[in-house]
Amino acid sequence: MSNVQGYFDPRFERVRELFAEQQQDEQARGAALCVTVGGDTVLDLWQGVMDKDNQQVWEQDTLVNVFSCTKPLGAVALLQQVAAGQIELDAPIAEVWPEFAQAGKQQISLRQLLSHQSGLSAVAKPLPPEALFDWAAMSQALAEQAPWWQPGSAHGYAPVTYAWLLGEPLVRITDQRPGRYIQEQICKPLGMDFQVGLPDTDLPRVAHVSRLRNQYGDEGARALFAAMGEPEGLTAKAFGNPVSMMTSTNKREWQQAEILSANGTGNARSLARFWQLLAHGGELDGVKLLDDELVALMQQEHSQGQDRTLLCPTRFGLGVMLEQSTPGGGFGMGSQAFGHPGAGGSLGFCDPDARVGFGYVTNTMGPYVLMDPRALALSEAVYQCLRELD
């Protein structure tokens, strides 16, 4: 028996059936899916359990860590500063963060930070575990860090350092904590149940995250995990320095930190809502997230080719991944789709041609580098339904 809850438009029943089918996997725990088409929600579903003992049912308002699906919210926060004339995309970031202008970083721009071209995917010197939760310590470590390559000459995904590379300039410009800024300027106006840094009152709603056992992903995942075993390499440092990056997901200090690269906590409904606006050029029904010129700029290819961190080809716009050429790397819809996956399976993206906003979250982490097959299968099913409706 399926325990799928929520709403679905009958024209997308096939997607609901697939979502229910995914729950039949013996390791499946909890998940939620939300899809908007134009101004309408056509799917808003959830199923499974949220606690580690598999006793507590996943509810309509259950929250879960969506990892790197958080990054585009940080990017939009900075692009809002560009729109307000507080910072220029191609001006040195050191203009708002003077301490950053050392170790060969004097000319690094916001555009390079947003598109993973800065050479700051990782901190080289070993940091103590608690540094991850010390904003000043992480910002200082990145201010002192020399780029791993000549900025602008290559790109390498910054899985975690992105939080401070964007967050510290945001603090300098707005004089606000990044989590509070994102809450007040993005989440509240859009009606998103999403936080970067949870208040105590929301902690009981957070699903416990676990990993799928005995699954090793595809060739790309195996190459990445092998590189993580070389402690001095860029990949290992990017994902494992401080070591607390790999061990903190279910801890309160992680849930309450403001790591806008990786610890956003929300639901599929919130992701779909965020991407619904970007599918419409940043504005819908009088709610505005960003100017359409800046949304168009987000979608433009800024970096492509072999990724120095992920060790596979990637394509980035500003703060977003673009449709990838590698098998299983795309969003499963049209060629103009853009968005961001999160570690373990979560996915938020839009297809502006189809006017689709998509959000998928799960508390059962899979071992893939880019798109998780579960989210991708759902996306492809949505797209199939849309094509049949045309």
Q: What is the pLDDT of residues 368-384, one digit of tens each?
A: 888 999 999 999 999 99
pLDDT given at position 146: 98
Residue 327 has pLDDT above 80, yes or no: no
Q: How far apart are CA 227 and CA 242, in angstroms?
A: 17
Read off the pLDDT band of 2 (50, 70, 90).
low
Residue 64 has pLDDT above 70, yes or no: yes
Which sequence spans correspond to the domains of the chain?
A: 5-72+181-389
Could you read off the pLDDT of 114-173 as tens digits, one per residue?
999 999 999 999 999 999 999 999 999 999 999 999 999 999 999 999 999 999 999 999
pLDDT given at position 224: 75
Residue type at position 76: V
Read off the pLDDT band of 13 (50, 70, 90).
very high
Residue 361 has pLDDT above 70, yes or no: yes
pLDDT given at position 215: 67
Q: What is the pTM of this model?
A: 0.96
pLDDT: is 369 or 334 the higher one?
Answer: 334
Tell me which residue of 27, 1, 18, 380 sits closest to 213, measured CA to CA.
27
C-beta separation of 342 from 69 below 8 A: yes
Residue type at position 285: D
Could you read off the pLDDT of 178-217 as tens digits, one per residue?
999 999 999 999 999 999 999 999 999 999 999 877 666 6
Distance of CA 301 to the CA centre of its chain: 18
Q: In the chain, what percentage of residues exceed pLDDT 70?
A: 98
CATH class of the 5-72+181-389 domain in this structure: alpha beta
C-alpha distances out from residue 131 to 72, 136, 309, Å = 24, 9, 21
pLDDT: is 175 or 325 the higher one?
Answer: 175
Q: Is 38 left (phi over 0), alpha (psi -120 to 50) or beta?
A: left
pLDDT: is 248 or 221 the higher one?
Answer: 248
Read off the pLDDT band of 245 (50, 70, 90).
confident
Residue 1 has pLDDT above 50, yes or no: no
Q: Is 351 left (phi over 0), alpha (psi -120 to 50) or beta?
A: beta
Query: What does pLDDT average to over the chain?
Result: 94
Q: Hey, which residues does 7 pair with through a beta bridge?
A: 44
User: How many CB atoms neighbour CB 341 within 10 A?
Assistant: 26
Tell me which residue of 262, 266, 264 sits closest to 246, measured CA to CA.
262
User: Residue 159 burial (CB < 10 Å; 0-12/13-18/19+)?
Assistant: buried
Q: In the chain, what percentage of residues exceed pLDDT 90?
A: 86
Residue type at position 186: I
The alpha helices in 193-318, defined as continuous H runs, are: 219-227, 234-240, 252-256, 268-279, 292-299
Tell me which residue of 341, 374, 338 sits closest to 353, measured CA to CA.
338
Q: Which residue has the tokens 């690269």?
A: 261
